[in-house]
Chain A
Amino acid sequence: DAGVIQSPRHEVTEMGQEVTLRCKPISGHNSLFWYRQTMMRGLELLIYFNNNVPIDDSGMPEDRFSAKMPNASFSTLKIQPSEPRDSAVYFCASSLAPHQIANEQFFGPGTRLTVL
């Protein structure tokens, strides 16, 4: 199995631009998580999906952030418009869980986002 796949691995953009991060979970996993990691705040859960449905998006910082999961094998996290304070590493993780997040999660390699 290829594990969780994220793209791009690195993204540099200018303030105000739209940024789209992509994630392909492990085949057969039915829960998907988006995290953000910064030096100041550490790891934070942004949103998670179960069976393609958003379950908890209370961690999404602002309306500028949106996430979708159109099918079981693909999810996107979009920031529009981007701001320098959005610079962070964004991780996607997946797990096999019926309806909760208390199962082992497998993390992707992360996308390092820099907003100038």
Chain B
Amino acid sequence: KNEVEQSPQNLTAQEGEFITINCSYSVGISALHWLQQHPGGGIVSLFMLSSGKKKHGRLIATINIQEKHSSLHITASHPRDSAVYICAALSYSGGGADGLTFGKGTHLIIQP
């Protein structure tokens, strides 16, 4: 079973700071998913990536398949970015799903 580790577990930063959240996994994957969970509990899919980099607004996600590592960056952070960020690793075997393993999440607080 894939082991997915996120760091840091908790992060408090000031508005405007550049934020990096890391995700490492133990077994090769076909794709990695970044999710955002708002303080109210709602979950939003941010990125699904299998190589390289993706950008959406102030959010950037990168993945290094060889190093089994992904990062989520937030530029010019804002209090509304305060949320829990969760990464999930997708493994495949023979075309079906071996499983979807989630990290425990990074609790981000951006102070004004």
Of A45, A55, A93, most B-chain CB atoms within 10 Å: A45
Could you tell me the distance between the alpha carbons of A103 and B33 in the complex, rounded to whole angstroms?
A: 9
**A103 partner residues in chain B, CB cutoff 8 A:** 48
A44 near B41: Cβ-Cβ < 8 Å: no
Q: How many of A's residues come within 8 Å of B, CB to CB?
A: 24
Q: Place the interface of chain B in its size category.
A: 20 to 34
- Nearest-neighbour CB distance to chain A for B53, whole angstroms, equals 17
- Nearest-neighbour CB distance to chain A for B106, whole angstroms, equals 11
Of the stretches B12-20, B68-76, B91-99, the one at the interface is B91-99
Given A42-B104, A42-B105, A43-B102, A100:B95 Cβ within 8 A: yes
B88 near A43: Cβ-Cβ < 8 Å: yes
Given A55-B97, A99-B95, A101-B90, A42:B45 Cβ within 8 A: no
**A109 partner residues in chain B, CB cutoff 8 A:** 41-42
Residue in B42, B97, B103 whose beta carbon sits within 8 Å of that of A48 in the complex: B97
User: Secondary structure at chain B's binding surface: helix, strand, loop or mixed?
Assistant: strand
B97 near A107: Cβ-Cβ < 8 Å: no
Q: Which residue of B lies closest to A104 (CB)?
A: B45
A110, CB-defined interface residue at 8 Å: yes
Could you tell me the distance between the alpha carbons of A76 and B100 in the complex, rounded to whole angstroms?
A: 21
- Nearest-neighbour CB distance to chain B for A35, whole angstroms, equals 9
Could you tell me the distance between the alpha carbons of A37 and B48 in the complex, rounded to whole angstroms?
A: 20
**B86 partner residues in chain A, CB cutoff 8 A:** 42-43
**B33 partner residues in chain A, CB cutoff 8 A:** 105
B64, CB-defined interface residue at 8 Å: no
What would be 17 A-B contacts, judged by CB atoms less than 8 Å apart? A42-B102, A42-B103, A42-B104, A42-B105, A43-B35, A45-B99, A56-B97, A91-B43, A99-B96, A100-B92, A100-B96, A100-B97, A102-B50, A107-B35, A107-B44, A109-B42, A110-B43
11 more A-B residue pairs beyond the given contacts A42-B102, A99-B95, A112-B41, with a C-beta to C-beta distance below 8 A: A43-B102, A56-B99, A91-B43, A100-B92, A100-B95, A101-B100, A102-B92, A105-B45, A106-B45, A109-B42, A110-B43
